[in-house]
Amino acid sequence: MMRRDEDITHELHVIRPHLFRYVALLEDFRKALAFILQTPNPVLDTWTDLERQKSNELLKRECDHILSELDRLEMRRGILDMRLANVLSLVSCVPLVHQLGALLIV
């Protein structure tokens, strides 16, 4: 394998842990949103019923929006992971193609 191929392969393998960390961050963010939705805010006890209801509706709507964005980011991460796997497969095949080409020339 040529030195440049080794460098590329190393860089590609460095990307994978970043993708795994990204998954962990998205999951932590999802847990934080679930906590926010499930935990009553004690400040709301001093508000009127109408204010409390509007606040809860707004909170639910915004959390749902953020959760849909998290789903979108998770799908994007899955696509990037598949692309990375494809590139790693391609990079591992390049030396074989060079070797076969050298054999055919001889």
Average pLDDT over residues 73-99: 81
Domain that holds residue 66: 3-105
Dump pLDDT digits (tens) for 4-38.
Answer: 666 777 777 788 888 889 899 999 999 999 999 99
Confidence class for position 60, pLDDT limits 50, 70, 90: very high
The pLDDT value recorded for residue 28 is 96
Number of domains in the chain: 1
Q: What is the dihedral of CA 82, 86, 87, 92, to 10 degrees?
A: 140
